[in-house]
Amino acid sequence: MLAVTQSSIREYPLKPQHLLPLVLATALIGCAPSPDEELNATLPQLSLKELLPPAVANEYCNPKLDSDLLYGIGYQLYNDDKPEQARSCLIMAAPTHDRALCYLASIAEQDSSKDSAERDREAFGYMAYSAVKNDSCAEFGMFQNFTYGMRGQTPDSDLGLRWLERSARHGDADAQQTLVRLHSNKNNLPLAYSWARVLDDSAQIDALKQRMNPQQISEGEQGFEQLGKHVTSKDAVRKEAREENIAVYSANIHMEYPETFKGLSVAERHALMEQAVATVSTRPEFSTRGQLYAYVIIARQAQLKQAGVDVLQNPQIVELLSDKELEVADAVKKADVILGQAAL
C-alpha cells in the first residue's frame, strides 16, 4: 500500500593548496583533451552491451513499460530492499537513465552469490560507465574508490580529489560539502570558503570567516566567482532532481493504482505529474508524498468522470487531503464518497 504519508516532497531524488581546482584551469588550445576527458581516460571504456546482463521481466517490470516507470520502480524496489527485482528494472532503464548504473553498482557490491573480486569488478564497471556520462552520484563514487581504495582500486588521493571536484562541479551537494570540510581541515580556507559560498551555507561561511583575514576572504570571493562559471546552477540541479522525482512518484502510483494513468501517453502522464507537483508545492497544507499521491489519484479519477473538474475546489476534498496522517488508500475511498455525493 502507498503508506508513505510522512515522506516529504523534495527536489531531489564529491589540489594542491592555494590553487583553483584543475577543472577550472584554462584548457590548452587546439586538440588538447579537456580535464574531464583526461579523467574519463583513467577509467575503462565500457559499453552497456558489455556491462549489462540480459534483463529478465518480473512481476514489477517488463520491456513494455517506458523507461521512466522502469527507473522509478527500480529505485523504489531498491529502497524497499528488493535488490533482485530492482536489478531487472534498473537494467531495463539503464539505456536512458545513467543514474540507474549508480544503483546497479550498489546492488552488485552486495551480491553474496559472487566473490569479492567479482563484486568489485562489476560495481566499478557500472560506476565507471555512469561517471563518464557525468552522473554526479557515480563521480562521487569514483572519489571514494580512488581515495580509499574501494571496489578493487589502488588508492590515489590526487585522482580521488579530481573526481570529487568534478562531482561537486556537477552539483552534488555531498561532494561540495566534502570539499568544504577537506579544505577547511587542511587550513586552505579560501577554497573552503568558495565552496561554502557555492553551497550557500551561511553557518559554514560565518564559521570560516572567523578564521580568515580580509585577504583570504577576498581570495575566497574571487574563487567563488570563478566557480560560478563552471558549477552546475542550483536551478539546473533542482530541475534534474524534479525529473527524477516525477519518475519515482509516477512509479509509486503505477505500482498501487495502475488505472490512474490508463489512456495517457508518457508525455501526458509526465505533464499531469509535473502539474500536480507544482500545485501541491504551492499549498502549505500539502507537504508529504502521501498527500501528493492521494491528490493525483483522486484528481485523475474525478477527471475521468467529468473532464476539467478541479477537486481542490471542493472544501471537503481539501480538508481530506490536508490530513498528513491519512493513508493514501483511505483518502481515495473517502474522496470517492465525497465526490459521489457532490454529483447527486
Averaged pLDDT for residues 228-250: 95
pLDDT at residue 12 in the model:
40
Distance, CA of 62 to CA of 258 (rounded, Å):
14
16: pLDDT strictly greater than 90:
no
| Residue that the C-alpha cell 527485482 belongs to | 85
Output the CATH code of domain 14-19+35-167: 1.25.40.10
41: pLDDT strictly greater than 60:
yes
156: pLDDT strictly greater than 60:
yes
297: pLDDT strictly greater than 50:
yes
pLDDT at residue 7 in the model:
57
Q: Which amino acid is at 56?
A: V
65: pLDDT strictly greater than 90:
yes
Tell me the whole-structure pTM to 2 decimals. 0.85
Cell readout for 188 is 586552505
130: pLDDT strictly greater than 60:
yes
Q: What are phi and psi of 196, to 5 degrees?
A: -65, -35
Averaged pLDDT for residues 59-87: 96
Domain borders along the chain are 14-19+35-167, 172-231, 257-342
Q: Which residue did the predictor score with more confidence, 222 or 339?
A: 222
pLDDT tens digit sequence for 78-115: 999 999 999 999 999 999 999 999 999 999 999 999 99
The pLDDT > 70 percentage for the chain reads 90
Distance, CA of 160 to CA of 50 (rounded, Å):
25
